[in-house]
């Protein structure tokens, strides 16, 4: 096992926190600003990149960190290490209400998970972060997450944050259609595309929008009930009017141009 083996506990129900217990010299990497608390003996250091390749040169680290800028994340990551003599705890909280998903990457196909670009929270040292490009233009344009998704690779524990309630679906050579933006993660062998939401009448008057995210194949898919984009829309002063127009051509085209 190349990643550090960490113990953890998920705390809370509606707004969850992950509490990680580190043995001496164990390390967890996290997004900047996500730390909630850390016990005495834990030290943190901001580094360029995820630290999965310690022998990598400066240019390699710069290139790896630069890919995070493409996904809208910070160039740097925070590494938390237990420098004490006994077990110590550090906790991380997500930036908005939702669920923390513990994922054992060792049980994922090809040890790789495709995640929405702002979904990664923290992981054991040794986990590698990269980017995944949507291959189809329509998927990037109407998929709710853009052309670029995050790729989380390794054999240890990683923690992904999602909005609202999370459901895990196992597909067995099946097709699953999901509201765009509600796909939080999927295994790499799953085919992800965007398709029209039925016929013209359904698209205009159905209230489900013009397009749906479509996942096909055999593997696991995780979906979220309240992505941050939908939460912001609901809380905005014009949210009610925007929701009324969500099923119309005018509403969808207006959102596209915005």
- What residues pair up with 168 in beta bridges, in sequence order? 222
Q: One digit per residue, pLDDT tens: the chain, 258 residues?
A: 688 999 999 999 878 999 999 999 999 999 888 999 999 999 999 887 666 655 555 555 555 555 555 555 566 789 999 999 899 999 999 888 889 999 999 999 999 999 987 889 999 999 998 887 765 544 444 444 445 788 999 999 999 999 988 999 999 999 999 988 889 999 999 998 877 765 555 445 444 556 788 899 999 999 998 887 777 777 776 555 544 444 333 344 344 434
What is the rounded CA–CA span in Å between residue 226 and residue 207? 17
**DSSP character string of 6-59:** -EEEEE-SSB-EEEEEE-TT-EEEE-TT-EEEE-TTEEEEEEES-SS-TT--HH
């Amino acid at each position: 096992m190349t990643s550090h083996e960490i113990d953890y506990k998920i705390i809370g129900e509606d707004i969850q926190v992950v509490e990680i217990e580190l043995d001496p010299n164990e390390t967890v990497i996290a997004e900047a600003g996500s730390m909630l608390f850390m016990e005495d003996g834990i030290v943190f250091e901001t580094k360029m990149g995820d630290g999965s390749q310690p022998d990598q040169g400066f240019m390699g680290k710069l290139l790896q960190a630069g890919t995070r800028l493409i996904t809208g994340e910070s160039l740097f990551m925070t590494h938390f290490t237990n420098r004490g003599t006994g077990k110590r705890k550090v906790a991380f909280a997500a930036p908005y209400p939702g669920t923390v998903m513990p994922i054992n990457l060792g049980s994922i196909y090809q040890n790789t998970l495709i995640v929405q670009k702002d979904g990664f929270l923290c992981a054991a040292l040794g986990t590698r972060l990269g980017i995944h490009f949507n291959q189809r233009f329509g998927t990037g344009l109407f998929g709710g997450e853009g052309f670029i998704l995050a790729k989380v690779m390794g054999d240890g524990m990683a923690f992904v944050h999602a909005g609202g309630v999370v459901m895990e679906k196992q597909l067995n050579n099946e097709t699953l259609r999901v509201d765009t933006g509600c796909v939080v993660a999927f295994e790499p062998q799953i085919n992800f595309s965007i398709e029209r939401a039925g016929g013209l009448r359904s698209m205009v008057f159905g209230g489900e929008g013009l397009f749906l995210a479509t996942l096909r194949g055999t593997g696991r898919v995780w979906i979220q009930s309240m992505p941050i984009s939908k939460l912001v829309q609901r809380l905005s002063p014009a949210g009610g009017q925007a929701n009324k127009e969500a099923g119309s051509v005018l509403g969808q085209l207006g959102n596209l141009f915005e």
